[in-house]
């Protein structure tokens, strides 16, 4: 048996997230079908993360074990031959037997993109949040600084008993906000993320921009562990899993 690590990218606009669902098309289902056509096996695929409906990935990793002897350098081309244009395998390599795409992960980086113009950009439909009010970038940066470090992020998590259990502490290594013309990018790097954590942080920073939350309120929101005190959950289309660290 060989353990293979695949790195791919995908446009999540027309998929109901990564994980296989009964009544909706997912990225995993499409990838799994392509893998079966290459290996002839029903491989047990381990994904690095769960992404929701409409969320994209610049880098997504899966691992699986196979008895097939296809040379590892040929795997990307073989899979891409059966995958739609919305999914592309970038690389493949053999890894140690105990490697797991999710549990071996040391951290991830997400980017949330906002088109900040009163006129929508039709070429970015489904790939950014269109936000037409002028953003107060400095206030957002001031609020974001309070989120860096190790905190209990209960206030920034949608509680789902099927997903989140145990310790809600996460260590945010960096949280930056960058504006290039009308495109604003919120980039968050952490050792792990709770359910909807990035989207709730993005929604909270938008509330800060609107003056509904003050930057100096952030420590109290973190300390309270109360989801109702943070901002709304931002829509999914602006979210990208950007990098995965092992």
Of 137, 141, 140, 147, residue with least CA distance to 220: 147
- Asked whether 7 and 60 are in contact (CB, 8 A), the reply is yes
Q: Rounded to whole angstroms, how far apart are CA atoms 128 and 146?
A: 25
Cα–Cα separations (whole angstroms), residue 198 to 67, 88, 96, 112, 170:
38, 24, 31, 8, 12
Q: Is 52 a catalytic residue?
A: yes
pLDDT of 93 strictly over 60: yes
129-169 pLDDT, tens digit per residue, is 999 999 999 999 999 999 999 999 999 999 765 455 678 99
pLDDT (mean) for 85-97: 97
pLDDT at residue number 137: 98
pLDDT at residue number 159: 76
181-212 pLDDT, tens digit per residue, is 999 999 999 999 999 999 999 999 999 999 99
> Residue 17 region, left (φ>0) first, then alpha (ψ -120 to 50), else beta?
left
Q: Rounded to whole angstroms, how far apart are CA atoms 6 and 75?
A: 9
Which domains, ranges and CATH numbers included, belong to the chain?
2-95 (3.30.70.580), 107-245 (3.30.70.660)
pLDDT at residue number 165: 63
pLDDT at residue number 167: 87
Selected catalytic residue, list 33, 44, 52, 182 = 52
Task: With 0.75 as the threshold, say if the pTM is over it.
Answer: yes
pLDDT at residue number 164: 52
Q: Rounded to whole angstroms, how far apart are CA atoms 3 and 66?
A: 7
8-39 pLDDT, tens digit per residue, is 999 999 999 999 988 899 999 999 999 999 99
- Asked whether 191 and 171 are in contact (CB, 8 A), the reply is yes
pLDDT of 180 strictly over 80: yes
pLDDT at residue number 166: 78
pLDDT at residue number 22: 87
37-89 pLDDT, tens digit per residue, is 999 999 999 999 989 999 999 999 999 999 999 999 999 999 999 999 999 99
Which residues on neighbouring strands pair with residue 190, listed in sequence order?
108, 172
């Amino acid at each position: 048996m060989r353990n293979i690590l695949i790195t791919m990218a995908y446009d999540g606009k027309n998929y109901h997230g990564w994980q296989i669902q009964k009544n909706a098309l997912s990225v995993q289902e499409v990838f799994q079908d392509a893998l079966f056509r290459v290996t002839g096996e029903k491989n047990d695929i381990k994904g690095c993360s769960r992404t929701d409906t409409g969320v994209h990935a610049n880098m997504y990793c899966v691992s699986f074990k196979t008895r097939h002897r296809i040379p590892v350098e040929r795997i990307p081309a073989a899979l891409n031959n059966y995958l739609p244009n919305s999914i592309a395998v970038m690389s493949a390599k053999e890894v140690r037997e105990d490697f797991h795409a999710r549990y071996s992960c040391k951290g991830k980086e997400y980017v949330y993109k906002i088109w900040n113009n009163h006129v929508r950009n039709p070429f970015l439909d489904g790939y950014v949040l269109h936000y037409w009010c002028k953003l107060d970038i400095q206030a957002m940066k001031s609020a974001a600084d309070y989120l860096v470090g190790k905190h209990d992020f209960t206030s920034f998590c949608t509680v789902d008993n099927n997903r989140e259990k145990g310790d809600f502490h996460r260590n945010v290594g960096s949280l930056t906000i960058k504006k290039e013309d009308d495109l604003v990018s919120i980039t968050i790097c952490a050792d792990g993320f709770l359910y909807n954590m990035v989207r709730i942080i993005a929604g909270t920073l938008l509330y800060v921009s609107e003056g509904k939350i003050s930057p100096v309120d952030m420590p109290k929101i973190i300390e309270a562990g109360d989801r109702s005190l943070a901002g709304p959950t931002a829509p999914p289309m602006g979210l990208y899993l950007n990098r995965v660290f092992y």
